[in-house]
Amino acid sequence: MTGPREVTQGASADESARHRSGLPSGGESPLNRSTGPAATGVDHPLRYGYGTNGLTDLRLNDALSLLADLGYDGVGLTLDHMHLDPLAPDLATRTRRVARRLDELGLGVTIETGARYVLDPWRKHGPSLLDPDPDQRARRVDLLIRAVQIAGDLGAHAVHCFSGIAPEDTDEDTAWKRLAETLAPVLDAATTAGIPLAIEPEPGHLLATLTDFHRLRRTLGSPDALGLTLDIGHCQCLEPLSPAECIRAAAPWLRHVQIEDMRRGLHEHLPFGDGEIDFPPVLEALATTSYQGLMVVELPRHSHAGPQLAEQSLQFLQRAAAGLKSKDLDGSQVPDKTPIPGEGPAASEGRTP
């Protein structure tokens, strides 16, 4: 392991927030800027993170220290009962404590909202934005607005969310209308905070593919606050394009990246090398599209081996990136003709097979 990160002392609150979000001093809000090359003085623009949903057997402070010692650039912080519980008392004080620790360790952060049972001990990921009961939908909205507020306090570069599974007794048009209406107050909060809301296409959910993301985006009128979380494994699982092609197609809207290995047609998050993904082209695509946020390893079913997998995952990604040519890692834009799923006159509004 490497030693703890060296952190500049005496930074202002605004400077600390910019540091965690990956912005240079005096830079724009993450909401209003396009992706661009990382700050100078680093070898390449790729910034690695690890998700706390894969470190649930560790206290949050221990998890953050572990990631900094290993050499990670940041953390995907899932708001859950064991890690910065968004519903427990004295949230503001606890958030300030986490902010100080992130600054001490030099870690960037993105906020994840995929905790399984944080709202309902009986229903995984329930209630969702699609729940038939408006009071239940409001609970999810409240959680997401809290997440936006926490993200602002921590200087996070994005807040992640997902649509949820459409209820069996709800027709598709109703479900899409409900999703758009329910997201509206969350997008308002994200706009006010200057934090992108990055929705994730999730296999089995109403919003499952890049095509579905564009359907929602157009329905909402393409608000600046709405961005995309792209899970590289999900691309391998069900998208018609390769993961690298998905990155290039999604680049204008890309605000957060999750990464792990996966097999075609099987939604199972796997350690690197256990699936079918060819990772050097994935990292090249992220570098050449100048994605500036964190690339967060997501292994939520592997907490039993979290510290070991965190170390192995970073080594794997660094080895994969080391083979890329320097011109692919300088953050420069390259021409791209990859078709955008869901875009163009022949695009279908239906689900990608």
121 pLDDT tier (thresholds 50, 70, 90): confident
Q: Which of 15-24, 179-188, 253-262 has the lowest mean pLDDT?
A: 15-24
21-35, 49-63, 172-186, range with the lowest pLDDT: 21-35
- Kindly tell me if the per-residue pLDDT of 31 is higher than 80: no
127-145 tens-digit pLDDT:
999 999 999 999 999 999 9
Gap between the Cα atoms of 52 and 80, Å rounded: 9
pLDDT band at 126 (very low <50, low <70, confident <90, very high): confident
Report, as an integer, the average pLDDT of 197-209. Answer: 97
Q: What is the mean pLDDT of residues 189-217?
A: 97
Task: Report the chain's terminal Cα–Cα distance, integer Å.
Answer: 43
Band of pLDDT at residue 334, cut at 50, 70 and 90: very low
- Note the pLDDT of residue 303: 87
pLDDT band at 323 (very low <50, low <70, confident <90, very high): confident
Region 47-66: mean pLDDT is 98
- What single letter denotes the amino acid at residue 249? A
- Residue 111 above 90 pLDDT? yes
Task: Taking residues 149-171, report their average pLDDT.
Answer: 96
**pLDDT higher than 80, residue 62:** yes
Q: What is the dihedral of CA 300, 66, 323, 288, to 10 degrees?
A: 70
Strands 261-263 and 74-78 come out as unpaired
**Which has the closest alpha carbon to 230: 175, 285, 274?**
285
The predicted model gives 151-172 an average pLDDT of 96
User: What is the structure's pLDDT at 119?
Assistant: 82
d(C-alpha 138, C-alpha 128), whole Å: 9
For residue 8, pLDDT over 80 is answered with no
DSSP 268-312: EEE-TTSSS--HHHHHHHHHHTT--SEEEE--TT-GGGHHHHHHH
Q: How many CA atoms lie within 13 A of 96 on its CB side?
A: 4
What per-residue confidence (pLDDT) applies to 324? 78
Q: What percent of the chain has pLDDT over 90?
A: 74
Rg (CA), the chain: 19
* 3-state SS class at 50: strand
Q: What's the pLDDT score for residue 232?
A: 98
Asked if pLDDT for residue 307 goes beyond 90, the answer is yes
Nearest residue to 84 (alpha-carbon basis) of 22, 137, 151, 139: 151
Helices (H), 26-162: 60-70, 91-105, 134-154
Span of 96-100, 106-110, 300-304 with lowest mean pLDDT: 300-304
Please report the pLDDT score of residue 30 as a whole number.
53
Total number of residues shown for the chain: 353
